[in-house]
């Protein structure tokens, strides 16, 4: 039995994150456009949809915005010379980099 090997090439697309303060409602979202006061509605470009009525007063279930995860608690003191820092330390450094903290 002969095995044929195929070369599989995965195309990875670069990703980006836009960091904004999470709005309390669709009406207050800085991404939403076409705010109408005649009929309470806003247009959400990421989902290509108008959000109307009571749905404008909260965050729509279709909202593409996702809150960042919380920082993780670090228990103990870590020394680089004796052992590697915890996963939580790297997690927190990554979150700080995303939001622009040092």
**Closest of 19, 39, 16 to residue 31, by C-alpha:** 19
Residue 6 is predicted with a pLDDT of 64
Q: Where are the domains of the chain?
A: 20-65, 72-102
Taking the C-alpha atoms of residue 42 and residue 84, their distance in angstroms, rounded to an integer, is 49
**The predicted structure's pLDDT at residue 78:** 61
Average pLDDT over residues 39-44: 85
Looking at per-residue pLDDT, the higher value among 18 and 23 belongs to 23
pLDDT in tens, 48-98: 988 888 888 888 788 888 888 888 877 766 666 555 556 777 788 888 888
Predicted pLDDT of residue 15: 75
- The Cα 56–Cα 3 span in angstroms is 58
The pLDDT of residue 31 is above 70: yes
CA distances from 6 to 1, 9, 12, 41 (A): 16, 10, 19, 52
At 42, phi and psi to the nearest 5? Answer: -140, 155
Phi (first) and psi of residue 33, to 5 degrees: -130, 180
Q: What is the pLDDT of residues 11-22, one digit of tens each?
A: 777 877 788 888
Q: CA-CA distance, 57 to 40, in Å (whole number)?
A: 9
């Amino acid at each position: 039995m002969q095995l044929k090997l195929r070369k599989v090439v995965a195309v990875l697309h670069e990703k980006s994150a836009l960091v904004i303060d999470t709005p309390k409602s669709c009406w207050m979202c800085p991404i939403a456009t076409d705010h109408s006061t005649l009929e309470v509605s806003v247009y959400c470009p990421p989902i290509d949809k108008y959000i109307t009525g009571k749905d404008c007063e909260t965050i729509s279930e279709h909202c593409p915005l996702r809150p960042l995860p919380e920082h993780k608690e670090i228990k103990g003191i870590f020394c680089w010379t004796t052992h590697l820092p915890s996963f939580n330390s790297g997690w927190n450094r990554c979150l700080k980099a995303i939001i622009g903290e040092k």
